[in-house]
Chains A and B, each alone.
Chain A
Amino acid sequence: MNVADNLSKPPVKKMNWDWVGVAPFFIFAIVFLFLPSLSIFYRSFQANDGGFTFDNIIALFTVRDIINAYKTSLQISLITAVGGAVFGFLLAYAVVLGGLPRGIRTFMSTFSGVASNFAGVPLAFAFIATMGNAGLVTRWIEGIFNISTRELGFSIYNMWGLSIVYMYFQFPLMVLIMAPALDGLRREWREAAENLGGNTYHYWRYVAFPILMPSLLGTMILLFGNAFGAYATAYAFSGSFINLVTILIGAQIQGDVLYNPGLGNALALGMIFIMGLSMAGYVWMQRRAARWMR
């Protein structure tokens, strides 16, 4: 932390002294968050000879490996965001409004907290033990249908397999966020809808869903980013078999696999851009959701 310490006494001239109290925090953020991001931005527009260029950005849309990496990353993120959101919502609904015993609610919230944080290497290994070549589920299926999945050329080390793995931390996150939102639906709203002659369908179509929509969409965006930025799980699950943007950036760190340092930076910049967009979408949706959550 030497750098942060040395910089933590900025020249203070006629400035609001109150800001000094938060200076260490912002200096840390500048040194270890903004400068590295800024350098990625700067170097994305830098040619190998040091001059300014748009070539790296253009290459993002023309080099096949990169296009494929973005495509796969986007696909997995979309699939697991939508899948996680739908199933997570149903599960949250079942637990909060489905009339299940109260103990299940407590259990579910603990388990969702654990599962949404259980990711990376151990998660990948758990799923290899579940549906890998010698996995429990694989052996069950082989036993029941009397087939050999390997002979059928069946493999889980592809986009769909990884999506199943990601779902393990995706839908619990949805449960964690949607359960309080469902709690926020007031009984009076339902009664009001019924008094006005509406049935369950009308209540959900015109009252509950419009209220929940911002939370739903916001969380879906969150899940999207959650999957898009994931590296450890994918790497431990399939090595570099599945060509994701994060995997490509990791490979670029370990050795210049693109044979162009500028292009590596542009790749990272594209990632920041997409993540930034989704974060902005999330924050915007959160604001809208907050209107009803009092």
Chain B
Amino acid sequence: MKKINIWAWIILFIGMIYFFLPLISTLEFSMKMIKDRYTFEAFRVAFTDRVFFERFGYSVLWALLTITLSTLLVVPTAYWVHWKLPKARPFVEFVTLMPFVVPAVVLTFGFIRLYARPPFFLNDRPILLIAGYIILSLPYMFRAVDTGLRAIDVRTLTEAALSLGAGWGTILTQVIFPNLRVAILSGVFLTFAIVMGEFTFASLLAKPAFGPYMEEIGSMRAYTPQALSLVSFLLTWASIGLLQWIGRGRVQEQVAGAH
């Protein structure tokens, strides 16, 4: 048993180095802006750029739009699959796995070739961007909501509501949504983390966002990109931390990401 323990510690140690060394390096690098001294000058420069707030604001806006629309699309669908249409489950699951089969860069390619041209011109507005983000969010959203629905008795709740005279709108907003709050929130935080740093869709569809901004800054300046990286990391950390705190005891299975 003792031998195993030593190996476990060694492997854990290597893992920790892999986890933390890039973060420590990034912090150290970002603090070297002024020669021979460690300062937070790079952070000051990053946070005084007006464009930073503009692009960051856009990303927040895209994230909120994605979260709203994705929730509106996934929750009723998942609910309906549980309550009326278990037959549709394989098809819905198939769709939610598709972001893995069609990566963001390929989907963008399809979008542009099909919808950014006459007669559609959909890329004049952020429609394609949000649609792409919704597709990205589907695996997380659906899984989270599906797990949530398994935990509640959909049939009894629905029948009780129906026999009390509730309509479908009332059932969804007054019964199903409140019961799924935790499940939806965990999907929401993951979606938020993904959209905030997303680069592929925003860059190739030429829409303003935080991801492409970081890349632009990276090709123009030293030090500040690393400061922004840490901001982005903290954002991911906060989202995932909140997610795990909310969904304590649940296993978050993940399929695709915005790499």
Contacts and interface: CB of A to CB of B under 8 A. Distances in A.
Interface of A: 1-3, 18-19, 21-22, 24-26, 28-29, 31-33, 35-37, 39-40, 43, 87, 90-91, 93-95, 97-100, 104, 108-111, 113-127, 129-130, 134-137, 166-169, 171, 173, 176-177, 180, 222, 225-233, 235-236, 246, 249-250, 252-254, 261, 264-265, 268, 271-272, 275-276, 279, 283
Contacts of B1: 99
A201 to B, nearest CB: 14
Given A121-B218, A122-B233, 4 more contacts: A120-B198, A121-B214, A261-B113, A271-B106
Contact of A120 (B21, B84, B199, B251): B199
A231 B197 CA distance: 13
B114 A39 contact: yes
Interface in B1-54: 1, 4-5, 7-9, 11-12, 14-15, 18-19, 21-26, 28-30
A168 B11 contact: no
B259 A249 contact: no
Interface in B210-246: 211, 214-215, 218, 225-226, 228-230, 232-233, 236-237, 240-241, 243-244
A110 B248 CA distance: 11
Q: How large is the interface on B (under 10, 10 to 19, 20 to 34, 35 or more residues)?
A: 35 or more
A136 B4 contact: no
Interface of B: 1, 4-5, 7-9, 11-12, 14-15, 18-19, 21-26, 28-30, 69, 73-74, 76-77, 80-81, 84-85, 88, 91-92, 95, 97-98, 100-115, 122, 127, 130-132, 134-135, 190, 193-194, 197-200, 203-204, 211, 214-215, 218, 225-226, 228-230, 232-233, 236-237, 240-241, 243-244, 251-259
Nearest to B91: A26
Contacts of A26: 91, 95
B241 to A, nearest CB: 6
Given A173-B254, A230-B259, A110 B244 contact: yes
A231 B244 contact: no
A272 B194 CA distance: 22
Given A114-B237, A125-B214, A126-B22, A232 B259 contact: yes
Contact of A129 (B30, B97, B112): B30
Given A36-B110, A99-B1, A168-B22, A114 B236 contact: yes
A98 B7 contact: yes
Nearest to B106: A268
Nearest 9 pairs between A and B by C-beta?
A98-B8, A36-B110, A229-B103, A129-B29, A232-B199, A94-B8, A21-B80, A136-B25, A122-B229
Contact of A137 (B25, B74, B194): B25
B105 A90 contact: no
Given A40-B110, A136-B25, A225 B100 contact: yes
Choose among A87, A95, A275, A283 the residue with the greatest number of B CB atoms under 10 Å from its CB.
A275
B7 A36 contact: no
B220 to A, nearest CB: 13
19 contacts: A22-B81, A29-B95, A94-B9, A118-B236, A119-B258, A120-B258, A121-B197, A121-B215, A122-B233, A125-B228, A126-B25, A126-B226, A129-B25, A176-B253, A229-B105, A232-B203, A253-B108, A264-B109, A272-B102
B80 A121 contact: no
Given A120-B197, A232-B258, A115 B85 contact: no
B112 A127 contact: no
Contacts of A264: 109
B199 A114 contact: no
A110 B134 CA distance: 25
Contacts of A18: 80, 84-85
A56 to B, nearest CB: 14
A271 B103 contact: yes
B11 A21 contact: no
Given A129-B29, A173-B254, A21 B76 contact: yes
Contacts of B102: 33, 36-37, 272, 275
Contacts of A113: 240, 243-244, 252
Contacts of B81: 22
A279 B25 contact: no
Contacts of A90: 11
